[in-house]
Structure 1
Amino acid sequence: MAERRPEALGSLLREARTRLAAAAVEDPALDARLIVEHFSGTNLTQAMADPDRTVDGSAVTAIDAALSRRARGEPVHRILGYREFYGLRLSLSPETLEPRPDTETLVDALLPFVRAVAAREGGCRILDLGTGTGAIALALLNAVPAATAIGVDISTDALETARRNADQLGLSGRFATLRSDWFEKVSGRYHVIVANPPYIRSQDIRNLQDEVRDFDPLRALDGGEDGLDPYRIIAAEAARFLGSESTIAVEIGHTQRDEVGEIFRAAGYEPAGAFRDLGGNDRVLVFQLGKP
């Protein structure tokens, strides 16, 4: 691709918005700004104060290529290569889900418990199942300096991404990774077990938004015939990795509260909390082991 000519920042932003709007992108103004800022190394303040600022040809070429990808349906954060989560910038890779705002509910639900354990015992051991980018574990570690975490995933690509994120955030000293199919290679006991497992029914995958279906990894979405297979595995196996005063928290699909609750109750857990996301949907369930 031949390098484009330099352009003024303001006109470049306008052209980008127009192009994405014509492609029926849901929020063309936001995505245009994210792309232009990222590849030109500018920010909103500069665009407002100095719209005639020159963006060099190599950046204009990169912006052009990124806009083409976005117009074809690729999610903007996949193009940028990162996404913000709980105030942290996390790198993405092909085998990681994009961490989304709904999942921040899981961090909110666990933080008081993690802080209390760390204050009482001088530390808090966290096991993050299906860690992906490491988003949940790293957000908890960033908020609680005495906590440590192991991120478990079956994908080596995801584990490499999680380790890179931990290193970039200065958290690698308290974060380790383990390649394991759920609990297969896990050992030890933990104060917290947390998971955002696949919970979409297999037959519903084809009905997901294109940006999710075509770009998020399938095995991070597909929860089996009824979407509940991972919860059955977690509920059946987690107890031997939990201490006497420990907790387990899972993200759920917004219609799965009763079914997931019953799976854990049948396995001997007691409900310890239910949390809704910013949209008012059921999103997180917390459990503790019942007294024998």
Structure 2
Amino acid sequence: MTFETVGDHVARATGRLKAAGIDRPRREARLLLAHSFGKSVEWLVAHDDERIETPAPFENAVRRREAREPLSHILGEREFWSLRFQVNASVLDPRPDSETLVAAVLAQYPEPDTVVKIADLGTGSGCLLLSILSERPGAEGVGVDISESALSIARKNAQRFGLAARANFIQSDWESRLGGTFDIVVSNPPYIPTAAIDDLAPEVARFEPRGALDGGADGLDAYRHIAAVLPRILKPNGLVALEIGQGQDASVTRILRDGGIRIVGLEKDLAGIPRCVLGRL
């Protein structure tokens, strides 16, 4: 049985995570200890000199992070749009960049009681659809994904946030099993060129689902497919909002225009990078 102070536990883990190349090792060490010990980070800070028994899961958690497994996979959740989404290796980690799309859609429909029907293509954790629904109580939506494992996570998140009555999730290869038309279509499709995936951070290249990353040779395969089907699934003057990768704005807007979509906006993320293309049919 090993007893050390909270500060010693954090310091030891910080050194190991720093050596593994983790950007913010002290912050992550505290998060891992808090998770393993069942306490908040604030509690750890306030009890830095308190001696505690080493939590059994802590060593395993540090080892997993040393191997560059995403922190969110170890903790089992990731905050997005002020909601704590359950995540695992079946889904793409929700990222702050994707909040650009949520904000852009809400700005297009500013009335809280707006009644709209939304389709989320490649829903993953459900973060886009559920975040929008959390802000628009009159809206409902369908999230589709080819992965049943991803859909299981999305359904759990809908239950977690009290949105299951307005969010349906179905297994489908893109739009193939969707019925009817929608006021809004959103998607964060795979957009990394195949050859570039192995050069991504280990957390992404080795641990995130390749199907949610691989956009084909030029990273644009999914956009071509979505653009081709939008006239069938989008209502007249309906909105499409697509997340894009860095430097893809010109190519994606061209693909959408060629598919008959009128571009109405190009939203930048907090770093000033074009991140979301908005169009209407």
TM-score where L is the length of structure 2: 0.96
- 1:110-138 deviation line (CA, Å, top 9, x unaligned): 0122344x64xx51111001000000011
Partner of 2:226: 234
- Counterpart CA distance in 1 for 2:21 and 2:196 is 24
| Counterpart check, 1:288 vs 2:280 | yes
- The gaps in structure 1 that reach 5 residues or longer are none
Indicate if the aligned counterparts of 2:36 and 2:56 stay in contact, CA closer than 8 A. no
SS of the residue aligned with 1:128? strand
Indicate if the aligned counterparts of 2:30 and 2:44 stay in contact, CA closer than 8 A. no
| 1:102 shift after superposition | 0.5
- Counterpart CA distance in 2 for 1:189 and 1:207 is 39
SS of the residue aligned with 1:233? helix
SS of the residue aligned with 1:172? coil
Indicate if the aligned counterparts of 2:240 and 2:279 stay in contact, CA closer than 8 A. yes
Partner of 1:66: 61
**What is the identity, as a one-letter code, of the residue corresponding to 1:129?**
L
Any residues of structure 2 matched to 1:213-252 within 5 Å, and which? Answer: 213-252=205-244
**What is the identity, as a one-letter code, of the residue corresponding to 2:239?**
T
SS of the residue aligned with 1:145? coil
| 1:83 shift after superposition | 0.6
- Counterpart CA distance in 1 for 2:16 and 2:198 is 28
| 1:256 shift after superposition | 0.6
Q: Classify 1:24/1:94 alpha carbon distance in 2 versus 1 (closer, same or farther; 3 Å).
A: closer
SS of the residue aligned with 1:39? helix
SS of the residue aligned with 2:252? helix
Between Structure 1 and Structure 2, how many residues are aligned?
Answer: 281
Indicate if the aligned counterparts of 1:114 and 1:124 stay in contact, CA closer than 8 A. no
Any residues of structure 2 matched to 1:203-222 within 5 Å, and which? Answer: 203-222=195-214
**What is the identity, as a one-letter code, of the residue corresponding to 1:215?**
F
- Counterpart CA distance in 1 for 2:249 and 2:115 is 31
**What is the identity, as a one-letter code, of the residue corresponding to 2:263?**
P
Any residues of structure 2 matched to 1:119-268 within 5 Å, and which? Answer: 119=113, 123-268=115-260
Indicate if the aligned counterparts of 1:127 and 1:193 stay in contact, CA closer than 8 A. yes
- Counterpart CA distance in 1 for 2:228 and 2:20 is 47
| 1:65 shift after superposition | 0.7
Q: Which of 2, 12, 16 is residue 15 of structure 1 equivalent to?
A: 12
Partner of 2:37: 40
- Counterpart CA distance in 2 for 1:114 and 1:162 is 24
- The gaps in structure 2 that reach 5 residues or longer are none
- Counterpart CA distance in 1 for 2:70 and 2:116 is 35
- 1:59-103 deviation line (CA, Å, top 9, x unaligned): x22111100111111111111111111111111122200011111
Partner of 1:90: 85
SS of the residue aligned with 2:165? helix
Aligned Cα root-mean-square deviation (Å) = 1.4
Percent identity between matched residues is 40
- Counterpart CA distance in 1 for 2:44 and 2:197 is 40
SS of the residue aligned with 2:48? coil
TM-score where L is the length of structure 1: 0.92
Partner of 1:108: 103
SS of the residue aligned with 2:142? strand
